[in-house]
Amino acid sequence: MDRSDIERLARTRAEPAVSVLLAPDRRRPGNAEDPLRLRHLVAEATTRVRRDHDPATADAVIGRLEAAAASVDLAHPPAGLAILVTEDESHVLRLPFRVREHVEVNRTFATRDLLLGAQRSPRFRVLVLSERRSRLFEAVDGVLEERTRGGFPVAVEVPREEDTPHRDLPIHEGQRDEALRVVARAVDSALRAVSREDPLPVVLVGVGRVLAAFEAATGSHPFAIAGRVAGNHSAAPPEALADLVDPVAREWFARRDEEAVARLVEAGGASRSAFGVDAVWQPAHEGRGQLLVAEEDLVWPARIVAGRPEPAADDGHGVVDAVDEVAEAVLVQGGDVVFVPSGALADRERIGLLLRY
C-alpha cells in the first residue's frame, strides 16, 4: 500500500462508499479483542447503510462488507487495517501504519485517513543487496515487510565465464565486475520504478563491493539514501534486519526533522513562512504551501465556519482536527509534510508553513 494506491482509491465515487478502519494490537497477535472490535465496526456500518439506502443496495454492500471482514487474518495483524466496499467492489488493505479507528459511509472512501496515516508514521525502505537476489523491505514503526511486487525481489542471470572468453583482465576478476554491474543496473531500475510512485528514503544493506557497485550505477535518483549497513545479510529475517537498520534510520529522520525546522525558521525573516494554525490555513488551501512542519502530538479541534477554522470542543459533532485539514491541503497540492517531535516548534506556535510565494 503506497501513495499511488491511495490516490487511485481516492478517485472512487459511489453511493454508498463504506470505509471501516481498524488499528489491531500487533503486539498481541490472535488476541480476542481485535475480532470483537472489528465486528462492532462492521455492525455500525451495517446499521448506517440500512438506515440511509434502499434494501437492494444495502444488501449488496453489506454482503461485500461481511465477506471482506470474514477474510481478514487477525492472527497476523498489520499495523492498520482498512476495509473499503461499494456495491461493485471491495478492498481489504493491510496497512504498514496505524489509522484512527472508525467507520465512514460517504460517496468516497476514507482515503484522507490513509494519506495522513502514511505521513504521520516515519516510513522508509530497506534494500538488501546481493549478487544473487536483492530484496526490498518497507519499514514503519520498527516493523519490516518485504515487497514482492514491482520487480522485487530482483534475481539476475549474470554473464558466465564461457560467454566472455577474451578479456584483458584475468577472466575471474572481469567476470565478477561485470556481474556486479548487471545486478546493480537491474536493482536500480526496479527501485526507481517503485520510488516514482512513492518516494521514500532507503537504507542500503550489503557487502562493500556490492554497495559500491549499486551506488556507482544509480547516479541521481528520486530517493534519499538514508544510510548504509555493511555486511552479508541477504538471508536475514525481517526482525533481524529491523534491529540492524533502526539506528541508521533514526539518525536520518532526526536530521531531516532538524533541517525542516531550520528551513522554516530561516525563511521567516524573508516573510516566506507562516506560524500557527490561523496563519497557515489560508495559504495551505490556496496551494501556496511548499513544506508544512507540525509537532506530532498537536491537535486543534475546530469547526469550519465560512471556510475558516474556529476552535471548538471536541464533541464529535462537526468537529475536525484543523492540523489534519491543513496537512491534507498541502499534500494534495504537491507540498511536503513533516511531523516533528513535541517541542521542536514550541516557540513558533507548534506548526509552520514554508510558502512557495
Q: What is the pLDDT of residue 117?
A: 83
Is the torsion defined by CA of 297, 250, 353, 95 positive or negative?
A: negative
Percent of the chain scored above 90 by pLDDT?
63
* pLDDT-derived band at 145, boundaries 50, 70, 90: confident
Residue 112 has pLDDT above 60, yes or no: yes
Q: What is the pLDDT of residue 158?
A: 59
Q: How far apart are CA 43 and CA 62, in angstroms?
A: 10
Phi-psi region of 314 (alpha: psi -120 to 50; beta: other; left: phi over 0): beta
* pLDDT-derived band at 27, boundaries 50, 70, 90: confident
Residue 170 has pLDDT above 60, yes or no: no
Q: What is the pLDDT of residue 217?
A: 84
Residue owning grid cell 497540492: 333
Residue of higher predicted confidence among 205 and 268: 205
Q: What is the pLDDT of residue 255?
A: 96
Q: What is the pLDDT of residue 210?
A: 93
Q: What is the pLDDT of residue 159?
A: 54
* pLDDT-derived band at 164, boundaries 50, 70, 90: low
* pLDDT-derived band at 45, boundaries 50, 70, 90: very high
Is the torsion defined by CA of 342, 344, 346, 350 positive or negative?
A: negative
Residue 221 has pLDDT above 80, yes or no: no
Phi-psi region of 206 (alpha: psi -120 to 50; beta: other; left: phi over 0): left
Residue 276 has pLDDT above 60, yes or no: yes
pLDDT tens column, 72-111: 999 988 889 999 999 999 999 998 788 889 999 999 898 8
Q: Once rounded to an integer, what is the mean pLDDT over residues 287-296? A: 95
Average pLDDT score, the chain: 89
In order of their start, the domains of the chain are: 3-120 (3.30.960.10), 123-250 (3.30.420), 269-355 (3.30.1330.30)
Q: What is the pLDDT of residue 172?
A: 59
pLDDT tens column, 65-83: 999 999 999 998 888 999 9
Q: What is the pLDDT of residue 121?
A: 82
Residue 354 has pLDDT above 50, yes or no: yes
pLDDT tens column, 225-251: 999 999 999 999 999 999 999 999 999
Q: Once rounded to an integer, what is the mean pLDDT over residues 300-312? A: 92
Q: What is the pLDDT of residue 169?
A: 45
Q: What is the pLDDT of residue 176?
A: 75
* pLDDT-derived band at 173, boundaries 50, 70, 90: low
Q: How far apart are CA 5 and CA 8, in angstroms?
A: 5
* Residues paired with residue 225 on neighbouring β-strands, in sequence order: 202
Q: What is the pLDDT of residue 109?
A: 92
Is the torsion defined by CA of 107, 108, 110, 116 positive or negative?
A: negative
